[in-house]
Amino acid sequence: MDTSTQDAVKARRLAEACKILRISRSTLYRRIDDGTFKAVKIGGVRLITEDSINAALQAA
Q: What is the pLDDT of residue 32?
A: 95
pLDDT grade, residue 6 (50/70/90)?
low
CA triple 13-2-53, angle to 5 deg: 25
pLDDT of residue 60: 76
> Residue 1's pLDDT is what?
46
To the question of pTM greater than 0.85 for the whole model, the response is: no
pLDDT digits (tens, 9 = 90+) for 8-56: 669 999 999 999 999 999 999 999 999 999 999 999 999 999 999 999 9
